[in-house]
Amino acid sequence: MANQGPVNKQKIYEQIEERTGVPKHKVEKAVKHEFSRTAELMASGDREKKEFPSIRLQYFGKFDVHPKRIEYLQKND
Measured in whole angstroms, the distance separating CA 46 from the mean position of its chain's CA atoms is 19
Question: What is the helix (H) or strand (E) element at residue 20, kind and residue range?
Answer: helix 9-20
What's 77's DSSP letter? -
Looking at the predicted structure, is the pLDDT value of residue 10 above 80? yes
Q: Decide: residue 41, CB within 10 A, 0-12 exposed, 13-18 middle, 19+ buried.
A: middle
| 16-38 pLDDT, tens digit each | 999 999 999 999 998 888 778 87
| 35-52 pLDDT, tens digit each | 788 788 777 777 666 677
Dist CA 18 CA 24 (whole Å): 9
Q: pTM here?
A: 0.50
